[in-house]
Amino acid sequence: MTGAWRKGAGALLTGLVPVVLALAFSTLTLLVMGASPLRAYGSMVFGAFGSTAKFTDTVMAWVPLALCAAGLLLTFTAGLWNIGIEGQIVVGAICTTWAARAWQEVLPRPVLLLALLLAGMAGGGLWGLLIGALKTYGKVHEIFVGLGLNFVAVATTNFLIFGPWRTPGRATMSGTALFERQAWLPTFPGQAVGPVELVLVAVSLAVVYALLRGTRWGLSLKAMGRNPTAAHWLGVPIHRYTLMAFAGCGLFGGLAGAVQTLGLFHRLIPAISSGYGYLAILVVMLSGYRAVGVAPVAFFFAAITKGSLQLPLELQLDSALGGVLQGVLVLFVLLFQGVRARRKRWAQGE
């Protein structure tokens, strides 16, 4: 019992200390800027939860964050840095928009919505597969491939919005024409969020958890991530599993793009990803690379992201303060984990 208590206390300490340090750093930053920390944090809480509409906005930010983080667990587990998750969101949104324009007046609504979500997943999955192929067969590091393809995806979005898919009668970069109503995801009465998004997040996290915890495939990904050379000698097909990890992550990224397109904007816009792919990387790190931690951590980050928008309105502070808090929090988590790992090695005499 004492050992279990110590283990639990250690885990709690590991989680709380970085949060306290990040808050202390942010508080010091606010004091240097001459702002009241209490008012600033109060404004962020109000901006995230101050009304039903604000809470709904926070949930709508949480959904793509959690979906992307679920996918990134696959590549992180395999020791792969899928920076291209941003591009997978965008390509998923592009494919969803193409399908909506083609099928929104043809298919009945339930079939249409399923087809549109699958189209987004297919687009993101293929874009992820392309990164995996260039890494595996082109011998290009996945970080450089991912960043390059992110720019390609964004440029393609801008071309389509300003070119072939421009709003009839006017050329604008604000986005394509709105989809027909039957191509919108259903919502709760009077709210911007609906049951489909919540079910998708729950199912996605459950699937990833099951894959990584209870299958040979997940075990092989973990072996790759820990020691790819040893995994190869144990018979793990590294190339095939690399492709599968990137494609699997892309499926979730594309699904996030589809949700953004069908559930939030109801059209394709230039900034369709809203930077959630990059932010999801921080979510996965802070969750300790575990599926069970993704949902609460993603919600925390979504609350900060939406809550910080209130700072310019009430205190004339830049909303980038929320990003500072997120980044500093992840930095302290990584530093604290590194210190603990080194102390553990010292205790073992290494």
Q: How confident is the model at residue 1 (pLDDT cuts 50, 70, 90)?
A: very low
Residue range(s) defining the domain that contains residue 113: 53-336
Question: Does residue 65 form part of some domain?
Answer: yes
Whether residue 30 lies inside any domain: the answer is no
Inform me whether the pLDDT recorded for 350 exceeds 80: no
Q: Residue 116 is encoded by which pair of tokens?
A: 């549109």
Domain count, the chain: 1
Residue 99 resides in a domain: yes
Angle between helices 276-286 and 291-307 (to 10 degrees): 130
Residue 120's nearest CA partner among 253, 283, 7, 5 is 253
pLDDT at 91 over 60: yes
The Cα–Cα gap between 270 and 328 comes to 28
CA dihedral 144, 150, 152, 154 (to 10 degrees): -160
- What CATH number does the domain containing 149 carry? 1.10.3470
Whether 110 is in a domain gets the answer yes
- Average pLDDT taken over every residue of the chain: 87
Global pTM reads 0.89
Give, in order, the Cα–Cα distances in Å from 254 to each of 126, 246, 249: 9, 12, 9
For 188-240, how does the pLDDT look when each residue is reduced to its tens digit (9 = 90+)? 988 888 999 999 999 999 999 999 987 899 999 999 988 888 888 878 899 99
Domain membership of residue 204 (yes or no) is yes
Q: Per residue in 22-66, pLDDT tens?
A: 888 888 888 887 778 888 888 888 988 988 889 999 999 999 999
Residue 36 lies in a domain: no
Q: How many Å apart are CA 136 and CA 163, to the nearest integer?
A: 34
Please report, rounded to a whole number, the percentage of residues in the chain having pLDDT higher than 70.
Answer: 91
Is 43 a domain residue?
no
* Domain assignment of residue 317, yes or no: yes
Summarize the confidence of residues 102-121 as an average pLDDT: 95
Higher pLDDT, 329 or 72: 72
Per-residue pLDDT at 17: 74
Mean of the pLDDT values across residues 269-283? Answer: 91
The string of pLDDT tens digits covering residues 230-262 is: 888 878 899 999 999 999 999 999 999 999 999
Whole-number Cα distances in Å, 81 to 88, 159, 162: 14, 28, 32
What is the per-residue pLDDT for 6? 57
Structure tokens at 162: 């300003």
pLDDT tens track for 132-186: 999 999 999 999 999 999 999 999 999 999 889 988 766 567 789 999 999 999 9
